[in-house]
Structure 1
């Protein structure tokens, strides 16, 4: 068993894979934020910065700045759905900063964008939990074997976190239950 203080080996490519997954998940919620704040580009900029890193860019100031800006955008949102969408974008940019520590809280860097995007979709549809479940199924399809490999180096998602925490734990369990890389669903 892994000790909570022991390190986990993470390569730059591992971080890029996780960030690409987070960006793909967060992207699905940008329209929800845009419906609330059409002239506010901060969440879209955060997802763009995440994609830039995932595709070979540097892990630096742009990611930190756009994540911070998306967090501020969440604070200016008029609806809970838009707030969750902005948090999904912030989480996508923050995914690049997954720490190599064997702590359950680090799973939020991997799955947070997906969980916040799913919650945004639920809230935008009048708290329709079936829609959140559909978003999680889509997230599973976006997860590559490399993402699941990174996820399984960490303890399971932590307790708490309200509905977003529930969604994160459900996604965590589903991804960990995938039998092998040859059994992965096709991305898309």
Structure 2
């Protein structure tokens, strides 16, 4: 569904569906961050901003600001699982900024929150990769047809990105299968 060479057609409803999926995947791991930094609401604020957009709110400054703040929160903790949970929140708010560029790197906007949340769960369980795989399976099972349709407009997820990149590719493959 290419509008012109190198671009993808995206509607506001497409962006809302992708953002709702990302927020739903990030929200369950917020407790990992909050247990480590109970007074730091930046990741929760990012997920709440993502939900607000997904439910009809504005795609604007609040999303950008909370995404950046969640990323800064990730850097403010020494706990790897908490950091990945904050990155999941950042990716949830950032999902609203999926670009209509037919590039594999854009898949990270669609699946990044789920991958970071899955990595957070792995790390919280002593780097148990079966936990991440279980999170990816749940993410695949909960992705709406709209999210799968948007994903199908883009090339497959790119190589690289360490373990989070692997998790993105696992989910990408599951959703395209």
2:32 is the alignment partner of 1:39? no
2:86 is the alignment partner of 1:86? yes
In the other structure, the counterpart of 2:141 is 141
Where does the alignment leave 5 or more consecutive residues of structure 1 unmatched?
Answer: 178-188
1:71-150 equivalences in 2 (<5 Å): 71-150=71-150
8 Å CA contact retained: 1:24, 1:142: no
Structure 1 consecutive aligned stretches of length 4 or more whose deviation exceeds 3 Å: none
In the other structure, the counterpart of 1:168 is 168
Where does the alignment leave 5 or more consecutive residues of structure 2 unmatched?
Answer: none
1:43-82 equivalences in 2 (<5 Å): 43-82=43-82
Write the deviation string for residues 135-183 of structure 1: whole angstroms up to 9, x where unpaired. Answer: 0111112200000000000000000000000000000000001xxxxxx
Write the deviation string for residues 82-114 of structure 1: whole angstroms up to 9, x where unpaired. Answer: 110000000000000000000000000000000
Per-residue deviation, 1:78: 2.1
Normalising to structure 1: TM-score of the pair?
0.91
Aligned length: 176
RMSD: 1.4
